[in-house]
Every structure is written in structure tokens, then in C-alpha cells.
Amino acid sequence: MEKKYTPSLWICILMDLLGCASYAVPVLGDVSDFIWAPISAIIFYRMFGGTIGTFGSVFNFMEELFPGTDFIPTFTLAWVLKRVRAPRRTVSI
């Protein structure tokens, strides 16, 4: 069952910026990705849940783990996907 909750866009952007922060320290950044990748994947799953959370957390883990892929805004893309897939509310007069 999909979660009805959609996380805040600002939190998603912040999480993506945290993922990119490893670029600030070149050598230490690659080492810190080994620590950040599982933490980020768990946070991703907890934020989105369901199908998006499951697939996205695996993708997020791989994206954070491999060097040079930290620029992909995984959290923000998931937020957009969740908003696009959200059912539209109709207003009746």
C-alpha cells in the first residue's frame, strides 16, 4: 500500500544537497559516501515508502555509492514523481 504522505520539497532538496556535500572534500568525500549511502537509502525509504521508496532507496544507495553520480537529485526526482502520480482532487460546485 502506498503512503499518502508526500515529503516536503525543501527537505528533499536538503537531502540532495547533503548527498553532494561529499564533493567539498575530494578524497574524504569518496570515503564518506560509503557511510552516507546506506543512511541515505534508509532515510529515502522512510520518507517515501511503498513502491517509490523501495525502488528509490536501492537507486539512491547505488547513486551515492558510485563516484561521480552524486549530482543526481534522487530525493527531488522522487518528490516530483510522487506529485505527478498523486490523484487529482476535483472540486464540485
Query: Average pLDDT for residues 43-58, to the nearest whole number?
Result: 93
Residue 34 has pLDDT above 80, yes or no: yes
Q: What letter would DSSP give residue 21?
A: G
Q: How far apart are CA 39 and CA 34, in angstroms?
A: 9
pLDDT at 29: 73
pLDDT at 77: 95
Query: Average pLDDT for residues 37-62, to the nearest whole number?
Result: 93
Q: How far apart are CA 52 and CA 92, in angstroms?
A: 31
Count other C-beta atoms under 10 Å from residue 19's C-beta: 23
pTM: 0.81
Count other C-beta atoms under 10 Å from residue 24's C-beta: 9
Q: Judge contact between 73 and 25, C-beta under 8 A.
A: no
Which sequence spans correspond to the domains of the chain?
9-80
Confidence category of residue 3, pLDDT binned at 50, 70, 90: very low
